[in-house]
């Protein structure tokens, strides 16, 4: 046995402590509960999710007075805040991005700094904002398209049909097919084009 091991074993025997894992040792340094500061904006947030949402659709069906229709471009505000980093985040989410660390590092920021920006502008934690944004995309794609669940999950940033299923259960207690039936009205299918 090395000197360190002998010293460590004798210390354990003298104090009556048992062998512990690294995490148990680090936790025993401070037995006080960790205090998490909760923040709440004292004023109304500057933006709502509706203000910041960038639709995935590029064209919409428009009818003339005779009942004939054609597709016309959708006006999409790609810079709803005028704040470059926040607008980049919105375009990132609208394009199906979801990894906030990748986004932050691409802008020379930490995820905490991006979270503070989102909180100041929306009053929401960044993760909840991302979830709401993704679910808004899911709803639009389910309602107005016939995309398969794998494509809806990918385009919304949820990644996989299983992740989408879990998110729909979490937020609406519905499956993808139930949510599609709930949202879709007559004439909704193909009202917009991607």
pLDDT for the residue numbered 40: 75
99's tokens: 């990894």
| Within a domain: 170 | yes
- The CATH number given to whatever domain includes residue 124 is 1.10.10.60
pLDDT for the residue numbered 6: 47
pLDDT for the residue numbered 42: 78
| Within a domain: 122 | yes
Q: Which residues make Cβ contacts (< 8 Å) with residue 188, sequence separation at least 6? A: 143, 144
pLDDT for the residue numbered 22: 39
Main-chain dihedrals φ then ψ at residue 72, nearest 5 degrees: -125, 155
pLDDT for the residue numbered 38: 63
Give residue 173's region: left, alpha or beta (phi > 0; psi -120 to 50): left
| Within a domain: 28 | no
pTM: 0.76
pLDDT for the residue numbered 37: 54
| Within a domain: 38 | no
Domain extent, residue 181, equals 49-193
| Within a domain: 40 | no
How far, CA to CA in Å, does 193 sit from each of 53, 160, 190? 17, 22, 6
Choose among 94, 78, 107: nearest CA to 117. 107
Q: Read out DSSP for 85-121? A: HHHHHHHHHHTT---HHHHHHHTT--HHHHHHHHHHH
| Within a domain: 69 | yes
**Number of domains the chain contains:** 1
| Within a domain: 29 | no
pLDDT for the residue numbered 153: 96
The tens place of each residue's pLDDT in the chain, 194 residues long, gives 555 444 444 444 444 444 444 344 444 444 454 444 566 777 889 999 999 999 999 999 999 999 899 999 999 999 999 999 999 999 999 999 999 999 999 999 999 999 999 999 999 999 999 999 999 999 999 999 999 999 999 999 999 999 999 999 999 999 999 999 999 999 999 899 99
pLDDT for the residue numbered 163: 95
């Amino acid at each position: 046995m090395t000197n360190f091991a002998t010293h460590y074993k004798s210390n354990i025997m003298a104090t009556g402590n048992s062998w512990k894992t690294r995490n148990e040792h680090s936790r025993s340094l401070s037995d006080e509960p960790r205090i998490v500061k909760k923040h709440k904006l004292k004023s109304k947030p500057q933006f709502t999710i509706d203000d910041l949402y960038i639709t995935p659709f590029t064209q919409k069906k428009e009818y003339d007075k005779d009942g004939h229709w054609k597709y016309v471009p959708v006006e999409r505000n790609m810079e709803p805040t005028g704040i470059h980093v926040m607008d980049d985040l919105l375009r990132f989410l609208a394009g199906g991005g979801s990894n906030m660390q990748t986004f932050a590092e691409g802008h020379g920021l930490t995820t905490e700094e991006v979270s503070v920006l989102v909180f100041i502008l929306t009053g929401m934690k960044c993760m909840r904002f991302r979830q709401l944004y993704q679910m808004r995309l899911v709803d639009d794609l389910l309602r107005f398209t016939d995309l398969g669940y794998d494509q809806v999950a990918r385009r919304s940033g949820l990644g996989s049909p299983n992740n989408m299923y879990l998110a729909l259960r979490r937020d609406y207690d519905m499956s993808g097919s139930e949510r599609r039936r709930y949202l879709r009205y007559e004439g909704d299918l193909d009202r917009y084009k991607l």
